Amino acid sequence: SQTLFFFSLYKIATSSDFSESLKICFLYLSPPPSFIARSNNIRMLEKKVETFNMNRVIEDFEEMSRNADQVQIQTLKDILLKNQSAIYLKNFGINKNTTDPEAFKALVPLVTDFELEPYIQRMVDGDTSPILTGRPVPAISLSSGTSQGRPKFIPFTDELMENTLQLFRTAFAFRNREFPIDDNGRALQFIFSSKQYTSTGGVPVGTATTNVYRNPNFKSGMKSIQSPCCSPDEVIFSPDVHQALYCHLLSGILFRDQVQYVFASFAHGLVHAFRTFEQVWEEIVTDIKEGVLTSRITVPSVRIAMSKLLRPNPELADMIRAKCLSLSNWYGLIPALFPNAKYVYGIMTGSMEPYVKKLRHYAGELPLVSHDYGSSEGWIAANVTPRLSPEEATFAVVPNLGYFEFLPVSETEETEEEPVGLTEVKIGQEYEVVITNYAGLYRYKLGDVVKIIGFYNKTPQLKFICRRNLILSINIDKNTERDLQLSVESAARRLSQEKIEVIDFSSHVDVTTEPGHYVIFWEISGETEGDVLQDCCNCLDKGFIDAGYMSSRKCETIGALELRVVERGTFRKVQEHFLGLGSSAGQFKMPRCVKPSNAKVLKILCENVVSRFFSTAFD
């Protein structure tokens, strides 16, 4: 059928590996005798992809989104075919004849990472039998998982690599149509590849981003759609992330006229980078003036690579100094440093929203473009409307990246409803995303809540809402990460009247007191009167508008909320702790709630408390 043909073309066009293209060709294109003639066309197609044809990538997405329902059926078939020998699937009675979604859903249960953990652990331990996937996986991803207080293992496969490239191409096509960048330009990218290590079972383990960056197909696959980084590879692969960040900033300034956009995976990373710039800019200016790298850079490979870029340039140094001194409270820092940048790019939605305000301050008039939606488990949706602000951003599900189901999230959460298919979702409804992918996850509840905002052709456009897990709950109260965020935002408005900002925050449920109470940790940018912070504390308490919380507060089954202000730099210590555990700097997300099991982080926060306030809001 036309859809099948389109689907095969799409897979071929987006496959980074020619032998893979041939395999797909055998699977989908018929009859086989015409194959040889077609393979020449495929070669041509491949060539076109290498040079990147924006309009064609957009047309392909248009076509695929028009046929989203058919593409989903075909994708599931393809996943089951590839993994038909997997023990996990066989255990549930899946065989080569199970190809339709209804049969699949009847046999395979919904699961979370908890149920899959023993299977994945066997893979990590080096068992190469077909456990979750038909073939042994080439690597394991380490999901940041900071919300659970521990890293999570996720299978990484070549298909996930292909999906990544496909999604990047799609998003780039739409982004570049709106904000065309200069072909000869560069990108200032705050990217950090952490180390892969080999498990005792001999499997490479790293963060998903590291597995992607270190994949041999990544560089060639990205060539046609990515401006080269300002920084040398040695900086990206530096074992010391602080030194890498300094060098990213320095490299960006050395190539300042060529910088087309500024990127970090998460808004947090962008804000962190420019806050660091505020502290080190004079050192950077000195390096540029004298043409000698500061002694703080000690990693030999990084020193050698950076020294090659530097030569004395007093003119540039003076210009940067003058620019920095002319800014008012660093407003518009990014366009001042990079006059030809077209936009600032990174994940700015969900738990990154608290950083958008500060980022906008640094970005001045430059558009903030929200990066796509995905996870270590796999990519889900692309930003095909890049002009929307981070507050409005939506993502269109790419229907061939996996088989997607959506589990309705009900207000009461009393009854678990049945998940619906990709094209059956309803506008305005919130769902938890359920993924079946090429990398051994079957009907896997991702834990993310999304809201359907509309449709792009037949595929849903969604907004990321929050992680499903409740983070603050003592009895009948239910507060999610989003609720915490809203409460912090409202209290931060009180603080901003004093020209002070909340640099970072986290929370904790303290049940060592009777009754238990919420504790909010704040790191703030300056000193202020105790009564201002007392107001903020009351505001935080009133900010949780969940009925269960308010009634519990009124009848004192939940105690007064406590605001603990921590010393400057405390959240940096928390981040360093996670980096030490193997999280990558680019992937890091501040845990918004610290569970008692995460004793180390709780200790860091508690040891650095400088003042405490208890809410009087319900007195």
Least distance (Å) between residue 132 CB and ligand AMP: 17
Size of the site for ligand AMP (CB under 6 A): 16
Distance in angstroms (rounded) separating the CA atoms of residues 553 and 402: 44
Select from 441, 446, 560, 585 the one that contacts ligand AMP (CB under 6 A). Answer: 446
| Listed residue (273, 365, 366, 287) closest to 320, CA to CA | 287
CB of 219 to ligand AMP, least distance (A): 21
Q: In the complex with ligand AMP, which residue's Cβ is closer, 350 or 399? A: 350
CB 484 within 8 A of CB 507: yes
CA-wise closest residue to 240 among 185, 303, 288, 291:
303
Query: Residue 448 CB, nearest distance to ligand AMP (Å)?
Result: 5
Q: Which is nearer to ligand AMP, 10 or 588 (CB)?
A: 588
Choice from 143, 251, 507, 570 touching ligand AMP (CB under 6 A):
143
CA distance 552 to 548: 6
Smallest separation, CB 156 to ligand AMP (Å): 11
Nearer to ligand AMP, 130 or 586 (CB): 586
Q: Which helix (H) or strand (E) holds 509?
A: strand 502-510
CA angle 424, 429, 430 (to 5 degrees): 105
Q: Is 173 in the site for ligand AMP (CB under 6 A)?
A: no
Of residues 467, 468, 482, 517, which one binds ligand AMP by CB under 6 A?
467
We find the least distance from the C-beta atom of residue 379 to ligand AMP, in angstroms, to be 9
Nearest residue (beta carbon) to ligand AMP: 350
Pairing of strands 562-566, 459-467: unpaired
Nearer to ligand AMP by Cβ, of 564 and 592: the residue is 592
Report the site for ligand AMP in 567-606 (rule: CB under 6 A). Answer: 587
According to CB under 6 A, which residues from 114 to 133 bind ligand AMP? Answer: none
Min separation Cβ 579 and ligand AMP, Å: 14
CB-nearer residue toward ligand AMP: 152 or 553: 152
Indicate the burial class of 63 (C-beta count within 10 angstroms; 0-12, 13-18, 19 or more). middle
Interface with ligand AMP includes 208 (CB under 6 A)? yes
Residue 302 or 446 with smaller CB distance to ligand AMP: 446
Q: Is 504 buried (19+), middle (13-18) or exposed (0-12) by CB count in 10 A?
A: buried
DSSP codes, 154-187: EEE-HHHHHHHHHHHHHHHHHHHHHS---TT-EE
Q: Which is nearer to ligand AMP, 374 or 460 (CB)?
A: 374
- How wide is the angle at C-alpha 390 spanned by C-alphas 53 and 449, nearest 5°? 100
Binding flag, residue 464, ligand AMP (CB under 6 A): yes
Report the distance separating Cα 476 and Cα 547, nearest Å. 9
Residue 276: phi, psi to the nearest 5?
-65, -40
DSSP state of 111: B
β-strand pairing of 368-370 with 343-347: parallel
Tokens of 525: 């940018």
Residue 203 CB, shortest distance to ligand AMP, in Å, is 18
Residues numbered 334 to 393 that lie near ligand AMP (CB under 6 A) are 347, 349-350, 371, 373-376
Cβ at position 349, least distance to ligand AMP in Å: 4
Pick 255 or 588: Cβ nearer ligand AMP: 588
Q: Which is nearer to ligand AMP, 305 or 380 (CB)?
A: 380
Question: Minimum distance from CB of 525 to ligand AMP (Å)?
Answer: 25
- Smallest gap from residue 148 Cβ to ligand AMP (A): 11
Cis previous bond, 515, omega within 30: yes
Q: How far apart are CA 554 and CA 475, in angstroms?
A: 13
- Map residues 288-327 to x or -, x wherever contact with ligand AMP holds by CB under 6 A: ----------------------------------------
Neighbours of 359 (CB within 10 A): 23
Residue 66's SS3 state is: helix
C-alpha 76/C-alpha 428 separation (Å) is 26
| Nearest approach, Cβ of residue 2 and ligand AMP (Å) | 32
Question: Distances from the Cα of 3 to the Cαs of 54, 103, 264, 324, 479, in angstroms?
Answer: 21, 22, 36, 55, 44
Cα gap 440→127, rounded to integer Å: 14
- Output 471 or 500, the one with its CB closest to ligand AMP: 471
The residue type found at 612 is R
Question: Site residues for ligand AMP, window 62-81 (CB under 6 A)?
Answer: none
Of 371 and 517, CB closest to ligand AMP: 371
CB of 244 to ligand AMP, least distance (A): 19
- As measured in angstroms, the least distance from the Cβ of 603 to ligand AMP is 24
- Cβ proximity to ligand AMP: between 444 and 521 the closer is 444
Who contacts 411 (Cβ-Cβ below 8 Å, separation ≥6)?
Answer: none
> Contact, 456 vs 65, CB < 8 A?
yes
3-class DSSP assignment, residue 521:
strand
CA distance 178 to 254: 27
Nearer to ligand AMP (CB atom), residue 298 or residue 389: 389
Residues in the chain: 619
Nearer to ligand AMP, 11 or 592 (CB): 592
Least Cβ distance, residue 154 to ligand AMP (angstroms): 7
List of residues contacting ligand AMP (CB under 6 A): 143-144, 208, 347, 349-350, 371, 373-376, 446, 448, 464, 467, 587
